[in-house]
Structure 1
């Protein structure tokens, strides 16, 4: 039967033998497609009203477009059915755009999660102290003790630089500029500025009142995305642990 599966697909479609048609589609979908014949079978699937088979062929074209577009079947299709070629090219471009957009969102989410981790580490250092850095009234744990906050080590280095940098004014030093931004982000996420031990928390709370609506909207958007990324991660973790 496999030898004549293409003929049987056409006949089953013409004579409306649905059970035979489904069998033929299944055979073609299950390991029969190659980069040399997928374009021909795609056109046949469309002619025989086999949407599932057509979709399987289309996905294969999207996955291996570079190789398939050099086959003889593609060249024949290009001459005989240029509208289909245009449709496939548009589908490839659209799929590539979606892939790039997904990758962009993944990278953005990583940045927002890193910012949230930095906020937690900053609060940890300023409130509890960690290893060799922290409040003056806290007994530090010593450098040999591992810290549970991933961002703590990098933030500790940044804080030490910030405390000793002679160009600490905003915009005067790349590292200090980053520290200023982290401090302001913390202030915007902090709900207890009167009791907060993070430096300049109250200062930035007061500064908010003097900022333009555009600047305020930008910070609010950043805070919402940082919190949303962390909440999504927690939800995903809880769902995984429930299985």
Structure 2
């Protein structure tokens, strides 16, 4: 359990399978909550085969057993709350921005989302009808943990996402996501591209997507900054 605790310091939602000959009544797992996926006795018939099956299932359905959260999650959520996006007159500006992003990259879908405690709230989406996505299912849960733009060239070839039925139903094959970061360094959202065929993005394109994410943050900022950002998107459009 000390090993589990050490791992969770780096990745709080890492699932754990207890494979041991110690009876469960003698193990204090209360503080680990739902992170313990299953207890498996080493004395059980075919224990090793069962362990292999459970481990493979966890790997293939990792998004369904929890989601990874950044180390600054409490502070990040506090920073997000300060923006109070629901009360800001930003819908038209974000709609212009996602239209521009989709056109610039010739992508099927472009969207802007804020990552809340349990779901990603989609503020604007070009090319699809998206309102919100659970953090277990959104690729942005993984993208927000990376400093640079995250690109998934082929969703079907990535074990993190290949078994998520919603992606298959929508025909999603590729993804790119850039962080929306506050001045204090907290990632509160993502600007993303989705396409319906495998696709990569070169260094220039990744840099441009990050620039769009910074523009989205400017729109969320003080009124005078929002006005300037709105004017710039109109000129670019």
> Is the shorter-chain TM-score for this pair beyond 0.5, marking a shared fold?
no
More strand by share: 2
TM-score, length-normalised on structure 1? 0.22
Task: For CA contacts below 8 A with separation 6 or more, give which structure has more relative contact order.
Answer: 2
More helix by share: 1
Which of the pair has more CA radius of gyration?
A: 1
